[in-house]
């Protein structure tokens, strides 16, 4: 996709790096966190030993299942950024964000980040504003950032395919809303962006590539702030 590699990783690294600390890291409740205290309860069976090879295989299987659940837009960025969800639970914690940004920084020869949890980045990528950053949201945010080449104004081909679900060559309002995914303000916000691009490009309900580029640029400004 346009914008991948150095510039895009700088975007990710910078926004994670400037965030203020989270008060508490996310700690999902385990279904086994409340154990019975009855004296007659049998103790839990000891977990079978798992070899490193088995662990790696299980992680690969879990990661593949995770890929299959991604939206088409998020899937475009999976190769580069799916690793940020280290435990493959479908959510990206502050700790995972910080770890991913640190790894990207090392690969790019950037200075080490301060030891702070990336509050701002988590809020930035939380596209629907519900307070929880899902893996799909983070990947969709990265795809939105990379969708349009700012200098040439061209769309990445994968972006067009992600939005043009029926392969007609144009993007309808329903296709736009569906591919963009849940955003803060709901379908009304996504629909307003589509309507504006539709009006400005004279698309009459079917955004051509230039109209989709306009809609994506507006959505990026609205959701990511630039």
pLDDT at residue 160 is higher than 70? yes
pLDDT digits (tens, 9 = 90+) for 71-116: 999 999 999 999 999 988 999 998 899 999 888 888 888 887 765 5
In the structure, what pLDDT confidence band is assigned to residue 52 with cuts at 50, 70 and 90? confident
Rounded to an integer, what distance in angstroms lies between the CA atom of residue 158 and that of residue 143? 10
Show the tokens assigned to 62: 């879990």
> Hey, what CATH topology would domain 156-226 get?
Recoverin; domain 1 (1.10.238)
Rounded to an integer, what distance in angstroms lies between the CA atom of residue 78 and that of residue 71? 10
Show the tokens assigned to 115: 């030891």
**DSSP-assigned beta bridge partners for residue 148:** 155
In contact, 170 and 206? CB cutoff 8 Å: yes
Position 93 scores a pLDDT of: 92
pLDDT at residue 23 is higher than 70? no
pLDDT at residue 182 is higher than 60? yes
Rounded to an integer, what distance in angstroms lies between the CA atom of residue 40 and that of residue 158? 59
Position 39 scores a pLDDT of: 34
Same fold, 52-110+117-146 and 156-226: yes
Residue percentage of the chain with pLDDT more than 90: 52
Position 6 scores a pLDDT of: 57
Of the candidate CATH numbers 3.40.1580, 1.10.150, 1.10.238, 1.10.1660, the domain formed by 52-110+117-146 belongs to 1.10.238
Helix, strand and coil content of the chain, in percent to the nearest 5, comes to: 55, 5, 45
Position 56 scores a pLDDT of: 81
Mean pLDDT of 106-132: 84
Q: Which range among 143-147, 150-154, 209-213 shows the weakest confidence by mean pLDDT? A: 150-154
Position 8 scores a pLDDT of: 65
Nearest to 137 by CA among 223, 31, 29: 223
In the structure, what pLDDT confidence band is assigned to residue 60 with cuts at 50, 70 and 90? confident
What are the residue boundaries of the structural domains of the chain, listed by start? 52-110+117-146, 156-226
Nearest to 123 by CA among 67, 81, 76, 184: 184
Position 48 scores a pLDDT of: 63
pTM greater than the 0.85 cutoff: no
Which CA distances in Å does 34 have to 1, 19, 40, 73?
Answer: 46, 34, 16, 38
């Amino acid at each position: 996709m346009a914008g991948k590699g150095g510039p895009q990783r700088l975007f990710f690294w910078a926004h994670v790096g400037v965030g203020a600390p989270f008060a508490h890291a996310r700690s999902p409740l385990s279904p086994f966190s409340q154990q019975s205290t009855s004296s007659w309860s049998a103790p839990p069976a000891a977990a079978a030993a798992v070899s490193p090879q088995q662990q790696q295989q299980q992680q690969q299987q879990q990661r593949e299942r995770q890929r299959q659940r991604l939206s088409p837009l998020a899937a475009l960025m999976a190769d580069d950024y799916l690793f940020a969800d280290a435990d493959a639970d479908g959510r990206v914690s502050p700790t995972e964000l910080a770890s991913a940004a640190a790894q990207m920084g090392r690969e790019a020869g950037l200075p080490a980040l301060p030891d702070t949890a990336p509050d701002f980045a988590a809020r930035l990528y939380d596209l629907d504003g519900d307070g929880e950053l899902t893996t799909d949201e983070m990947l969709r945010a990265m795809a939105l950032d990379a969708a349009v080449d700012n200098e040439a104004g061209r769309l990445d081909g994968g972006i067009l395919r992600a939005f043009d679900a029926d392969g007609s060559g144009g993007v309808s309002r329903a296709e736009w809303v569906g591919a963009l995914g849940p955003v803060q303000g709901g379908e009304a916000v996504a629909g307003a962006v589509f309507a504006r691009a539709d009006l400005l490009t004279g698309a009459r309900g079917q955004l051509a590539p230039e109209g989709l580029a306009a809609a994506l640029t507006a959505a990026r400004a609205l959701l990511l702030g630039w």
